[in-house]
A = this chain, B = another copy of it.
């Protein structure tokens, strides 16, 4: 198959596949069938084969998928076979937690700059990184080759942070702040909102109760 438009849901599932495949690898499994992978991911096995088909042919008929090869192939397909330099704007509780989160660099997203507009925070060192004034974004984005901006400001300051980042020439933005922002269409924008998972849980729990 290869290419064309790829559903958002496929990308999300590929992330899951990598996670589960990495676990298989740790357990010493070398080869896995779509059936077995599907079970571990709670999806349909055709789904997996379809998802992979968007990017190429990675399996061996009659055999299955070589775990390590598949991880490598998926990573290459997603563009995470290399490191991405990120800048984080807004060093509050959440921002600090992300700065300290080991998983970021382990997954290839290296946070190279931390920015805030609070004079009390500027100059402070977090995880070996000096917090820099947001106004310096244009200079720093170039200097550090930042490509992805992470917004962890309070909601009312998210748009301004986005403006700084866009002006500085960032390529994509991941917005953790609970507010909608607008950016030019060539900038890729993702919203992270883990509260909707809480809403979903609340809804389903209450619905289940209502059923009894």
Stretch at the interface among A59-67, A77-85, A113-121: A77-85
Q: Is A8 an interface residue (CB 8 A)?
A: yes
A208 in contact with B188 (CB, 8 Å): yes
B201 in contact with A103 (CB, 8 Å): no
Q: Is A190 an interface residue (CB 8 A)?
A: yes
- Bound complex: CA A179 to CA B208 (Å): 26
Task: Give the interface residue-count category, chain A.
Answer: 35 or more
Contact with B along A157-191 (1 / 0, CB 8 A): 00000000000000111101011100000101011
A108 nearest in chain B by CB position:
B202
A15 in contact with B80 (CB, 8 Å): no
A98 nearest in chain B by CB position:
B97
B80 in contact with A180 (CB, 8 Å): no
A115 to chain B minimum Cβ distance, whole angstroms, is 18
Contacts A171-B208, A174-B201 aside, 13 further interface pairs with beta carbons under 8 A come to A12-B196, A15-B193, A15-B199, A16-B196, A19-B179, A19-B180, A19-B193, A23-B179, A40-B180, A41-B180, A42-B180, A107-B195, A194-B194
Residues of A within 8 A of B (CB): 6, 8, 11-12, 14-16, 19-20, 23, 40-42, 77-80, 84, 93-94, 96-97, 100-101, 103, 107, 109, 147-148, 171-174, 176, 178-180, 186, 188, 190-208
**Could you give 19 example pairs across A and B, Cβ below 8 Å?**
A11-B200, A15-B195, A19-B179, A23-B180, A77-B203, A79-B202, A94-B97, A97-B97, A103-B178, A109-B198, A148-B201, A172-B201, A172-B202, A172-B204, A174-B197, A174-B201, A176-B194, A188-B204, A191-B197
